Amino acid sequence: MKFGLPAVCSFAVLLYSPQVSGQSKQEDSILFQTALSRTLAVYYDQLGDQSRLYNGSLFQGYDYVFREGSPYFLGSQATRVGSVEYDSVLFINVSLLYEDLRQKLVAVDQGFRLQLINERVNSFTLGGHHFVRVFPIPQYKGLPEKGFYELLYSGPTAVLKWTKKDMQETLSATEGSIWHVNESYSYFIHTGASWIYIKSRKDLLNILDNRRKEIQRFMKKNKLNYRKDRDNTLTQVAGYYDQIAN
């Protein structure tokens, strides 16, 4: 027998309600989450293969507004249709939300936001952007952090982008706590058997030194400005280098 998620959650509330009289709010919350998790497990067992994806914990967002920046990818907590490789199974046309402040990928089903287990995510695509999970294996030698990197270019001279966000609080006498999110980016290019950090246009040319003159002409012809448009510049230069280097 299959039934909808709202009905399942109502059933969880019925299971939970008789047990909580006289207990604290914290104990109430723990009991409810336990009952809901167990009931959701029963529900997702009815879904067949989809149960592999929709089996995470409920995603907890933020209760306050950010004055500057956003903890969410592309600055919005609106869901987007994407795909994710989870437990080595590819799921397509999935409603996803990515909170890159804490690197949490969320699958949304019938209004419920379920946080996926990072260690089970191999890669995902969201809003035309492709991410891969980096962890300590020889394939990712030279990368300083583990987690989700955006794959800007996937050829032999691949390019990865690492986004780092930090949340800061300032106090105002009139407004109280004001929250900000600051973000910075790091870029890495694959050469040989390792990934090399790129900080400047000079670094890029030094790494691809055997084709320096051709690349300089290519950048000038296509009006590529590393400082103003790093994503596009690195993507085009790496792709061009792979064409002329082989």
Which residue's structure tokens are 């936001």?
113
Q: What pLDDT does residue 21 have?
A: 42
Structure confidence by residue, pLDDT tens digits, 17-75 = 444 444 444 444 445 454 544 444 444 444 445 567 877 788 988 888 888 899 999 88
Structure confidence by residue, pLDDT tens digits, 81-108 = 999 999 888 999 999 999 999 999 999 8
Contact 166, 56 (CB under 8 A): no
Q: What pLDDT does residue 95 have?
A: 93
Q: What pLDDT does residue 14 have?
A: 41
Structure confidence by residue, pLDDT tens digits, 207-228 = 999 999 999 999 999 999 999 9
Structure confidence by residue, pLDDT tens digits, 107-151 = 988 888 999 999 999 999 998 999 999 998 999 999 999 999 999
Mean pLDDT on 198-215: 96
Mean pLDDT on 186-198: 95
Q: What pLDDT does residue 111 have?
A: 81
Contact 98, 105 (CB under 8 A): yes
Amino acid at 96: L
* DSSP labels, 77-113: ---EEEEEEETTEEEEEEEEEEETTTTEEEEEETTEE
- Report the C-alpha gap between 148 and 123 in whole angstroms: 8
- Report the C-alpha gap between 146 and 93 in whole angstroms: 27
- Report the C-alpha gap between 24 and 59 in whole angstroms: 23
- Does the pLDDT at position 190 exceed 90? yes
- Does the pLDDT at position 164 exceed 90? yes
Q: What pLDDT does residue 50 have?
A: 58
Q: Identify the bridge partners of residue 131 per DSSP, sorted by sequence position.
A: 124, 150
Residue 100 sits at φ, ψ, to 5 deg, of -85, -5
Structure confidence by residue, pLDDT tens digits, 2-17 = 334 444 444 344 444 4
Q: What pLDDT does residue 215 have?
A: 97
- Report the C-alpha gap between 213 and 210 in whole angstroms: 8
More confident residue, 243 or 46: 243
- Does the pLDDT at position 153 exceed 70? yes
Q: How far is CA 112 from the centre of its chain?
A: 18
Q: What pLDDT does residue 16 have?
A: 44
